Structure 1
Amino acid sequence: MSEQEIDPAKALLNRMRRLAEERGETRLDPARLARVQQRQAARKTGAQPAKTESDPNARDPRAIGDVIGRLSKTRGWGTQVAVGSVLGRWSQIVGEEIAAHCKPESFEDTVVVVRCDSTSWATQLRLLSHELLKRFDAELGPGIVTVIRVLGPNAPSWRHGRRSVAGRGPRDTYG
């Protein structure tokens, strides 16, 4: 716009706003002005002002779990929090007896990898995997864990060094 096309009423309004700011008067938007007036009216009558969920000045304390839950939902961290829940709350979700013998190793793309301390517990966990998936759905929500990959105990490696011979193993090592 050139100077000839400036609306005189708009120019006067802008000038008055600048003068008000220089005097220290601030401009309030209608929603904030309504909240200020509501608080002033409540002070005169001695009543508590009505606090709403959207009121940023609501000073009531909130539980940290609610605050973190709301934050994780707004940021889209639901899956990452579920991953932490699976690994952190393993014994609560699967039970103390299973947790004593089977530990989660990793959790990627809805697949939990679990290492068991014996082959019998690995077999037992494979049989219980359907029931455990139901528990995960109930605790964390559907679709967070879809597969439980069960691994047996770690066996010692008999290969030492860069070169090795394909053979039948240590045979008479354990007497």
Structure 2
Amino acid sequence: MTDDHFPSLNTSTPKPDGAPTIPPRGADLAREALAQARARTAAKRKAAGRTGVAGRNGAAGQRRRWSGAGPDQRDPKPLGATLKVWLKDSSVGADLDKANLLGRWPDIVGPEIAAHCDPSDLVDGELTLIAESTAWATQLRMMSPQIMGKIASAIGPNVVTKIRARGPSSPSWRFGTLHVPGRGPRDTYG
């Protein structure tokens, strides 16, 4: 069968001398499409006022393929710097700060303060301390700026933004299933 039987497939146009031209196929079509895409991209860059890759490196017409003696974005980074960026971007850093603070508490605040209070929790920058007595809880509230300064110098700034000091909890006088309503014993504990 010839192309005359399928007029929709006969896309060739005759040349002025009368000989039909062969339509582009395969690789020729791909080359034309690539050339058109490159032309559109170049026009968009020119309209946006951007230059090609060679223009960014300073040497017109040459593309830099090696990093050279100076620092470059492609240079390997130290593992410590990479881990710091990862910890800052993820939520793991807050857990590590909390573990660091609770684990090193006597070293950070000193043996005098650590002997009279224990850190309970660190949530959203608020450190909860449990004091051995109500007098020490009051003392810790007054010393909170100095304690926060020690924590900032040991662990880092803005790890602890607020300190809440609580006294010891009083014992429960409720034994068994029966209970009489009332105030109960009125003694101070601590």
Report the Cα offset of residue 81 of structure 1: 2.2
* 1:154-165 equivalent positions in 2, closer than 5 A: 154-165=169-180
Give TM-score, length-normalised by structure 1: 0.56
Partner residue, 2:165: 150
Q: CA deviation at 1:77?
A: 3.1
Partner of 1:22: none
Q: Secondary structure at the match of 2:136?
A: helix
* TM-score in terms of structure 2 length: 0.52
Report how many aligned residue pairs link the two structures. 135
1:80 to 79, 92, 95: 95
Secondary structure of 1:164's aligned partner: coil
Relative to 1, partners in 2 of residues 1:76 and 1:157: Cα closer, same or farther, differing over 3 Å? closer
Per the TM alignment, residue 107 of structure 1 is displaced from its structure 2 partner at its CA by 1.2
Q: Which protein is bigger by CA-based radius of gyration?
A: 2
What's the Cα RMSD here?
Answer: 3.9
Taking the aligned partners of 2:141 and 2:118, their CA distance within structure 1 comes to 14
Structure number having the greater helix percentage:
1
Residue 98 in structure 1 maps to residue 100 in structure 2: no
The CA distance in 2 between the partners of 1:76 and 1:54, in whole Å, is 27
- What SS class does the counterpart of residue 72 from structure 1 fall into? helix
Superposition pairs of residues 45-124 of structure 1, within 5 angstroms: 55=75, 68-124=83-139
- SS of the equivalent of 1:115 reads strand
Measure, in 2, the Cα distance between the counterparts of 1:76 and 1:6. 53
1:130 and 2:148 correspond: no
